[in-house]
Amino acid sequence: MAQRKPIVAGNWKMNGSLELVSEICGEVEKHNNADVDVIIFPPALLLKDVVNKGVMAGTQTISEFDSGAYTGEIHAKLAHEIGAKYTLVGHSERRSLFSESNQQVADKFAKAQQFGLTPILCVGETEQQRDAGKTEEVVAEQIKAVIDKLGVAALNNSVIAYEPVWAIGTGKTATPEQAQTVHKFIRHMLSSYDEQVAQTLRILYGGSVNEKNSESLFAQADIDGGLIGGASLQKDAFISICKSALGNV
As a whole number of angstroms, the distance between CA 24 and CA 42 comes to: 11
As a whole number of angstroms, the distance between CA 158 and CA 86 comes to: 9
Sign of CA dihedral 122, 126, 129, 133: positive
Q: Which residues are annotated as a binding site for substrate?
A: 11-13, 169, 208, 229-230
Q: Catalytic one among 75, 80, 91, 183?
A: 91
188 is catalytic: no
**How distant is the alpha carbon of residue 239 from its chain centre?**
17
As a whole number of angstroms, the distance between CA 116 and CA 25 comes to: 23
Judge whether 144 and 98 are in contact, CB under 8 Å: no
91 is catalytic: yes
Judge whether 111 and 61 are in contact, CB under 8 Å: no
- So which residues are the catalytic ones? 91, 163
